[in-house]
Structure 1
């Protein structure tokens, strides 16, 4: 099959520019405040926002297994989102990670290694929609690089999926290898995948024929209801089940029509994509006060790991529609989502949450912040970047080396914050950046003003620099979250604001899976949390807490409520460990749940910090340590 150069007009190749990743953000807290940058240049600001969010997302990429831990299909979408970022901005730094995943993960894997299902090779599995997500990811990698191996892999995946199309319900692709369900997501993906293949393969007729057949079947399936919204799937009698309207189903139908329109020039397809988008933008089932809202986003519900990523998929295809039509209503919708996320749904570590309109939720259903919500919200930020992206941009981040301060009875506590600055410029003259830093009343900031020169090279690959900021926290600082803020500027008219959150605390007592846990979580590794009182580490995953106890600490005792197959270790530096608790029986049902006490005094570092690490005592069976609650009793503190 001959590979040609026929690509949609919006897709562009660029020069590959690779630099070392200079980002190491540790989430400080999920406390979210309404903040805004000064948008002297809105295009440059949009680009900078997207860069910051993309760097945070890639901080969760695990290079050994070459995925984002614990989610197979979500990893495909996250990598595709990073591809969108690179395509949109011209910043190609993450091409090596795409190729790393391609080369390491194209083989056969047993269940539980990269997915709950066994992987059959070439990114296929019994989950047919998962296979299609990977097909789209590799087409994007081809668009970015022109390397035929990626397109060949997408063809292989499509040929696998094609075997799951049959005449049941008049056509359509099955959702799973057991052929139990035909639904919107699998078939929206199929239409988009086959149309994208046609648009990249010279002389193709077969993939176009399949894409047309898929579109006709979807339109006649009954899954698109009278309001123009896409229901989830079909009943056994081949009628629409009327189930929840999910944003990703709506987005995929929009995107399917758009790509097939590019293939055929049939204006009716473009009109249908517009109709589906207009229905979504005006529906209370998908928007609240103009902000995209999943049914699980409300304050008394929580999205599972699948639902966390749905809205970003919708935004990917609304971006495509806005680019194609330049209609004001789509461009305004895109900008509204990006602004709302950045000002109300972003924490001080630049993590982006599930609820794009902000809001903590009730105590049992906190706003979620993880790499899935990051990838989803990043799609909205990418959509707000203009085409072509501006050649100049300026961004900043603040990374506290010690995000928690536990003051002694007397004496101030000094901490360091790294102010990271990044920028792009059209020319090769260094970009001169000034930084002004402010903190709470009574806190000493050194230096308050400083500057750094970024060695930009005229490309869209950002140059990075950093400024070390010393912060002195007085002994009488009130408990709670405190903000240190930096405003960076560069001529002409580039401004960006970054914040660091510092928690002052005299006690340690939290449920896992809540915002109260986050400041203490030093290294989440591949651990997971599905809600309050639930953080677990299976297999070779683990999680580490850092407790910077007061300088006058005499003794300390940790109390952990934990179950299943746990190993708990303590140490003074996050490197050297002593096992202090271990479950020696293989327990999968939590029947050993109990509260244990650990004397921390032997493990206090010279700075009075102590680290606790939880892992899996039987890593081969996948029922690792699950921690519910942790507290520390401190003796000798003021």
Structure 2
């Protein structure tokens, strides 16, 4: 959710992926009872339900009510709003899902291939994902609308057509779609196509209790994890996860969609084979695909190389998170308690004398129907201190759809002798049998040296704005985007110099207060091929500030010198030398 843009109410640069990421957050809320993110769901609903020109939220014009020429994109949003309805019981979400489904039904066409929903408004392609989504969407509508027969009939018809369409091959794996001659096109078996075939069947089975449907779902599931299926050495693997390939922004989320519906399979069948596979994926993600900043990558087995690194971004996070969410045991708690611990300064650069004090905040939230008298305690590393050590906070939730929030100011004191490296501060919240542990990472550093786009960059990244990092070891800011680093130099610093490995069309500015900026580097030529990549040094001594904690912070901002052509400043590595 750190990547969620509250102004445009989406995850930057991806329309359908934003719907799926919000579904992942919805899955988390449903599974755990933690309802902290209902506000973001509603923010997206209210801000993005109108019409938008091409390029604002999608490459296509948005027609209003989350519909566009991309029929599958429309369906993803329909499922998102049905989940919001399940979480809140607010009828506006169900009404929106019905509106979307009515729009999609306009592209059900029996005149070509005997049925099926077209993938696009131009009616060029009938494929697996659009029709798997249609089965799930219509079955979910039936299961939420009392007395419905309309959507059930459409779901049954779609399931029967899908089974006979030819997209399911002889190995019970789902190829991507149909040729113009209405035969299996033999294209890739993507995990999300297999997942929606399983998920669509499960929801329709819940509506009908037809044993033949569940038997088909199990065949599709067994094929997924069997020989020649979608698993490599026990780990769910996309074809683009190969060491010599890189998944595009769409492919990054496919495995998470599969796991969302695999979790439904486990919950529905209670089959130990399916549960074991789910647990294996969660263990693999946690132990092999998680970096020091708790980011989750695109390759769940964790493989990486210089040419095709394991990529970490919000899409890969949402995808791998689905494996962890599925491993959370049921039933969902009747009430929930959650906490976040946020130091205002995640980096401390100690001076030669004097301790450093970090202001922070412990945020508490709860849902349920009874007051929760919450005991909060904090633990800091040896030699450190956190205040308050303990506190009592009363939370008075008003149901599961309206969580309440409280905050407790904190101060963390870091001794001068603290060793370089990452240190964990822990807060524990207890109330009525509920427990939640929140952790904050504080980096103690006597030097600055990090690759961008990695976990090592994050403590220094003060404001990512709308910058992006789509591969390991780079961060770039196109158009009106920028990114800002904060260097909290020690109070006894007398001089400082930073060196950036940078290219493309950059503007670099420096400030002592994050308000008044001085341009120190600028590329005046329109360079889009990286030919100007070089190490460039900047003297920061004139900008050494004066922070409340005695530090001398310097802010460094990178932006785009030619904002109209999409090749803004790109930084690969940052180092700094200081004299104390």
Same fold per superposition (TM over 0.5): yes
Residue 62 of structure 1: aligned partner: 5
Residue 193 of structure 1: aligned partner: 137
Corresponding position: 1:445 with 2:362: no
Match of 1:428 among 351, 371, 374: 371
Distance 1:600 1:223 in 2: 61
Deviations 1:95-129 (A, max 9, x none): 33323222221222222211222223222223221
Match of 1:374 among 317, 324, 336: 317
Q: CA separation of 1:150/1:391 partners in 2, compared to 1, >3 Å: closer, same or farther?
A: closer
Contact 2:32 2:336 survives alignment (8 Å):
no
Residue 546 of structure 1: aligned partner: 486
Residue 419 of structure 2: aligned partner: 477
Instruction: Give the CA RMSD over aligned residues.
Output: 3.5
Contact 1:424 1:463 survives alignment (8 Å):
no
Deviations 1:39-87 (A, max 9, x none): xxxxxxxxxxxxxxxxxx2x33222211112211111112222333334
Contact 1:556 1:634 survives alignment (8 Å):
yes
Match of 2:514 among 559, 574, 577: 574
SS at 2:508's partner residue?
Answer: strand
Contact 2:562 2:568 survives alignment (8 Å):
no
Matches within 5 A, 1:306-345: 306-342=250-286, 345=289
Distance 1:210 1:493 in 2: 45
Q: CA separation of 1:496/1:361 partners in 2, compared to 1, >3 Å: closer, same or farther?
A: farther
Shift of 1:593: 5.1
Deviations 1:143-185 (A, max 9, x none): 3344443333323323333343434344333333444433221
Residue 512 of structure 1: aligned partner: 452
Contact 2:33 2:333 survives alignment (8 Å):
no
Contact 1:366 1:515 survives alignment (8 Å):
no
**512-521 or 588-597: bigger deviation:** 588-597
Shift of 1:469: 5.1
Distance 1:555 1:252 in 2: 59
Contact 1:533 1:627 survives alignment (8 Å):
no
Distance 1:298 1:454 in 2: 50
Unaligned 5+ segments in structure 2 are none
Residue 250 of structure 1: aligned partner: 194
When normalised by structure 2's length, the TM-score is 0.85
Deviations 1:398-425 (A, max 9, x none): 4443333444566665555655566678
Q: CA separation of 1:121/1:583 partners in 2, compared to 1, >3 Å: closer, same or farther?
A: farther
Contact 1:349 1:399 survives alignment (8 Å):
no
Deviations 1:253-274 (A, max 9, x none): 1111112223333221122112
Deviations 1:453-508 (A, max 9, x none): 24244755476554735242545835xx3332537374777666554444444443
Match of 2:44 among 101, 104, 116: 101
Q: CA separation of 1:395/1:64 partners in 2, compared to 1, >3 Å: closer, same or farther?
A: closer
Q: CA separation of 1:302/1:613 partners in 2, compared to 1, >3 Å: closer, same or farther?
A: same
Contact 2:223 2:229 survives alignment (8 Å):
no
Match of 1:233 among 156, 165, 177: 177
Distance 2:156 2:334 in 1: 39
Shift of 1:521: 1.7
When normalised by structure 1's length, the TM-score is 0.78
**74-83 or 234-243: bigger deviation:** 234-243
Residue 468 of structure 1: aligned partner: 410
Deviations 1:313-353 (A, max 9, x none): 12221222223223333344444444554555445655444
Matches within 5 A, 1:116-195: 116-166=59-109, 167-195=111-139
Distance 1:149 1:282 in 2: 42
Contact 1:423 1:464 survives alignment (8 Å):
no
**607-616 or 460-469: bigger deviation:** 460-469
Distance 2:441 2:274 in 1: 35
Unaligned 5+ segments in structure 1 are 1-56
SS at 1:182's partner residue?
Answer: coil
Distance 1:602 1:296 in 2: 49
Distance 1:463 1:333 in 2: 37
Distance 2:433 2:90 in 1: 39
Residue 219 of structure 1: aligned partner: 163
Shift of 1:283: 5.1
SS at 1:569's partner residue?
Answer: strand
**247-256 or 105-114: bigger deviation:** 105-114
SS at 1:102's partner residue?
Answer: helix
Q: CA separation of 1:513/1:94 partners in 2, compared to 1, >3 Å: closer, same or farther?
A: closer
Distance 1:78 1:251 in 2: 16
Q: CA separation of 1:186/1:300 partners in 2, compared to 1, >3 Å: closer, same or farther?
A: same
Deviations 1:225-250 (A, max 9, x none): 33322222334544334333322111
